[in-house]
Structures are given as C-alpha cells and as structure tokens.
Amino acid sequence: MAEWLFNQILNGFLTSACVIFGSVGNIHSIKSVHFANFDKNRGVVLAVSILALAIWDTILLWCAFFYYGLKSLTQAPRGDLFNLLTPYFHAFSQIANTASIWCVVSITIQRYMATRDPFRTSRSNRVLLHNSFHNSIDRRKTSMNFLVYCAIYRRHFRPPVILSIVAILVNIPAFFEIVTRICYRMDENRHGYGLYISALRLNEYYKLWYKVVFRMLITSCGPNIFILLLTVLTVLLLKGSNRSRRQLFQMSETMIDKYTTKETMQTMISLMLVIKFLLFRSLSFMLDIWEVTVGFGDKLHIYIYLVDISNFLVLLNSATNCLIFLRGSTWLQQKIVERTSMKRKRQLCIDRINSIKRVNLLFKSYHSALYMTNRQLGVRLLYSMLIKNPQMMTMFNQLPRIPTPKLSCGSSCGSLHLSCATDSIVSDGPSGEGDEEKSPAPYRKLSTPTPARKSSGSDGCPYKSIMMQAGSSPSLQVLKLPPVKKNGVFGNAEFVATAMSVNRAAEIVSVLPRIKKGSRDMLANPKFHEVGDRIMNFIGELIELMRKNTSDQYIIMKIRKVGAIHHQLGIVFSSGAWKEFKSAMLCIISECEFANDMEKAQTLEAWSSFISVIIREMKMGMWGSSLERSPLLKI
C-alpha cells in the first residue's frame, strides 16, 4: 500500500505537475527570446542554444510523462498501448536528457566566451549584421516567421543541430534496452504485450563500459566538471573586468552599482546553475555505479524508490533550466537592488549618528588651522600642490599684455595694471605722451582703497591703489614699484610686483614650511593668492553646509559642479597633485593642538575621509563633464 501510494504521488501527481509547469515555462521562454535578439552578434548563438534547451527539455518532460507518469495516474501499468510505446519513450527520453545536458554546456561556453572577449566578431558576422540592420524594419513589418529566420541565420543553428544529431547517435543502444513480448495474462485470461529487460541491458560489459564509464563522461561527471570549471573562470573574468573598468574609468555611483549588480547577478546565476545541475543529476550517476558495483541484492525496493526520486529530480531540473536563464536574472536583480537599498539606508542612519561628532571635529580643527596659518590655509595647500607638480605652474605664468591707463606716480613711475579678465599684472613702462589715446574705457579707484605706503626706493615713488575699469568687480590691491633704471634711462619693468600688501607677504612666507629657490616668483602672482583663498573658502563652505545638516546629495553635486567647471576651463589635476593636496591638508591638521591623542586620531581620520570625498567627487564632476562634451555620445 505504501509503495502504491508513493508511486502515485511522486510518479503521478508530482510528475504531471512538473511536466505542465515545465512545459509552460519552456514555451514562455521560447516566446521571450524575441527575434530582435537575432540582430545581435553573439546573442544569436546564445539565443539559439536557449531555444534548443527549451525544446529538448520539453521533449524530455513529455517523454517521461508518457513513459511512466500517465501509467501512475491511470493505474493501468499493463495497458498494451502503453507497453508498445514504452521502449520508444525510454529511448527518446535518454536522447532528450543527453541533448539537454549538452545544451547547458553550450550555454556555459557562450557565457564564458562573452565574458572573456565581449567584442569578438568575424567579418561574416559584421556583414550579416549590416544586412540585418538595413532589413530589420522590413522584416518587422512583414512579420516573417521562424523558418525565414532559420534560413537567414542558418549558420548559427549548426551547433544545436550537431549536438542533437550526436545525442541521437550515442543513445541508439537505448532503443534495445527494453523489449516487448506477447505473453499470456492469467488474471485477465488473455494475451497481451509485456515489458522485459533485454539481454543487452543485462550484459556486464555493457553496464560497465557504456552505462557507467561512457555515460559518466558524456552525461554526468564530464559535463559536471566542465560546467564547474567554466563557471569559476567566468566569475573570475567578470570580477577582473569590473575591477579593470573601475581602475580605468571614474564611474558614478549609479554605474558602479550597475556593474556591481551585474557581477553579483551573473555570479549567483552561475552558482545556481552549477548547484542545481549537480544536485539534481548526481543521484542518477550514483545509482548507475551502485548497479554495477554492489548490485540490487535484498535492497531492490530501496533502489526502486531512489530511481523514482532520481527521475523526478531530472525532470525538475529540465523544468527549471530556462526559468533560471531567462527569469532568474530579473528576479535576482530586483532582490539585489532591494538589498542594496536597505543596506544604504542602514548605512546612512549609522553615518548620520557618527557625522555629528565628525563634523564638529572638522569645524574645530578647520578654524584652528586658519588661526595657525594666519588664514593662509588655501595658499599653503596650493603651494604644496604646485611644488610637487611644476607643470601646473604654467597656468599662473600666462600673463598677457594689455593696454593700461595713465597713472600719475611721478615722472619715474611706470604703469601697472591688473586685468579684470585674467587677474594678471603687466608692466608697460613709464608713462608718456599719448597714453590717454591708448587707454580703454574710463577707470575709477577702488571704493575702499587702502592707504598708500611710502616706498623705500631711490625715486621715492609711493605705492598706489590700482585703478580698475568701471563696472568691474573689486580685485586685489597691487603693489606699485618703480621701473629698473638701465644706463640712466628708465625702461620696461623687469620685476612684477605682488598683488598683496607687505604684511601679507610676510605672513605667507612665514606659514609656508619650505620655500624653494625660484618659487618666490610664483608668490608674486595675484592669481596664486586668489586661488588659494578660493580653496580655503570652499573647504569652509562645505564644512558649514554639513553643520547645517544639508543633504549629502546637495553637497556632492556642489563638489561635482566645481569639478565640471575645472574640466571646462582645461584645468587637469594629476594623481600626484591630489595626493599632495590630501597629504598637505593632513599635515596642517596634525600641527594643530588637540586635547589628547584620541581626539587627534579621530580628527585626522575625519579629515582623511572628508578630503577623499572631495577628491572623488571632483573627479566624478570632471568625468561627467567630459562625457557630456564628448562627440562620441552624439548620434
């Protein structure tokens, strides 16, 4: 009674449900492989392999249903029609099982090749794609059927066709493993057809070399090991390609999440495929070994139960193959995105709790650094970046000459002008007649001029405030020096004065830890001090925004906008410049006074993270700006 109930439930109801579920899933998978996929290069072979897998899995399911499922449902195991067809269903189920396994191997190979060399294509493929592109609209309009697509892409149908033919050839002996004979049925008092195991199936050499050794290589151990190795290589290649992509390109968080999700999804699909394949098909191989080595003996009933379970697992594997390939990716992607979102929310909550203390440390140490450097923090950072990267000094050395207005500083004083456009100082030599004709629009003095200082020069020319063009914004005050006298004649000035007061010059020199020979000329450039002040103010503004609980997205976009502006102006920072920027900032902070060593360590850690965010988002802004301006993106 227990055996009958087990047979009806497993081989009847569960097998029938698995057949129906698997058939619907495979048919839906065939419909999901749109004909538009045939317009892609490597996707053609992969799509054809998935189609072949779905077809052979469906054949296997229905062969198993008519082989033993229908008998268990109707409880008519001795029907003549069923017995006559059973040897053929047995053979075709073996063929479909072998072809299904090889299709999975083919798909695994295609996935490995696509990961190893995603841009590999042949000339014939390119010609085929070219013709497909020009004829795609007409084909969609005329709704060409599957046979027409097979005729166009018949070359890509060769692998599954060859696999199917070979699967039929290697399973020809399966047609002779079970035979039907006419026998007399005493309980029914009639002659009928009975099923018997053939002499070929009972042959010891056949069971050892064909059922165990040969089929172990082509349907069990061989494909299992091959799929496992290729899956491991595919996962390693995918991780390596994503790591190289992150090193070559500065990707946004969205793109990083995209490739990380894809990598995780491909890894999970590969693991699911291997685990499912090994779990559902290993029992069949173990039973073959049991039959050859140990035999049935008094455990025949246990062996029959295990055979039924093994058959059901094989059917379950075939019913879920296409579900994994076509629907598993979408389901996994949704789950990974949900998990990533929840992880980010938890991380944001933790960061928000810790950020209050970190921002206070940043604010306190920032003002300590300003006091320690006499508010020359940005100048010191910029100086360190330029000293380590001399090629960046060229942007401060481009001082174009422009006409300057006449300044009444005495007969011996030359003219100096601070360009409103370039913030550059240009010496035009002594003033003379005709200067008014060369002067541009009217000029006016600064609204809040600084009292002039007396020069220690021999000519006694006082320092004057620079005159600016009307309507322009206030700029730095210029130190005006007399020109150099050569052979008793005043010529053009060879020394350009610094755009700062004498007091500030002394302050800057005092806060710079190392003044290299020749770098004092850089200090004479007002642009240098303006950029340094901008760096200092920008850092302070970011800290103030964090103190006001401004959203992280707003702060990030603000930093990226600055990076985009630098890229548009052609200002490129090397890795060495960024490294020196961070190193100099941490060095300045470490010179501040702290209550204890723990506070110092926490402050340096906070600044390290803060500067890293600035550098990363600046690079993101530059990279995003380069994409927007790239002509390759215009179609």
| Cα distances (Å, whole numbers) of residue 246 to 250, 259, 563 | 7, 10, 19
What pLDDT does 263 receive? 60
How confident is the model over 333-345, as pLDDT tens digits?
666 666 666 655 5
Are 159 and 48 contacting, i.e. CB atoms less than 8 angstroms apart?
yes
What pLDDT does 92 receive? 93
**Mean confidence (pLDDT) of the chain:** 69
Helix (H, G, I), strand (E, B) or coil at 489: strand
How confident is the model over 405-442, as pLDDT tens digits?
343 333 333 333 333 333 333 333 433 433 333 333 33
Q: Is 197 exposed, middle or buried (0-12, 13-18, 19+ CB in 10 A)?
A: exposed
Q: Please, what sign has the CA dihedral across residues 520, 523, 528, 529?
A: positive
Q: How much is the average pLDDT of 288-312?
A: 81
Torsion, Cα 626 630 632 633, to 10 degrees, reads 80
Question: Is residue 613 scored above 80 in pLDDT?
Answer: yes
Buried b (16+ CB within 10 A) or exposed e, 455-479: beeeeebebbbbbbeeeeeebbbbb
Q: How much is the average pLDDT of 134-158?
A: 54
Distance CA 208, CA 206 (A): 6
For residue 28, give the amino acid letter.
H
What pLDDT does 589 receive? 92
Residue 554 in tokens: 């707003």
Question: Is residue 16 scored above 70 in pLDDT?
Answer: yes
Maximum Cα–Cα distance for the chain, whole Å?
144
pTM of the model: 0.51
What pLDDT does 532 receive? 85
* φ, ψ at 251 (rounded to 5°): -95, 150
How confident is the model over 229-274, as pLDDT tens digits?
888 888 787 766 655 555 444 445 555 555 556 666 666 776 777 7
CATH 1.20.1070.10 fits 2-344, yes or no: yes
What pLDDT does 98 receive? 92
| C-beta atoms surrounding 238 within 10 Å | 21
Beta-bridged to residue 486, according to DSSP, are 489
Are 556 and 545 contacting, i.e. CB atoms less than 8 angstroms apart?
no
Residue 592 in tokens: 């501040």
Q: Which residue has the higher pLDDT, 75 or 234?
A: 234
Residue 547 in tokens: 């103190």
Q: Which residue has the higher pLDDT, 319 or 551?
A: 319
Q: Where are the alpha helices (DSSP H) in 33-69?
A: 42-64
Question: Is residue 24 scored above 80 in pLDDT?
Answer: yes
Element (H, E) at 190: strand 190-197
Sorted by sequence, the CB contacts under 8 Å of residue 439 that are 6+ apart come out as 403, 404, 405, 406
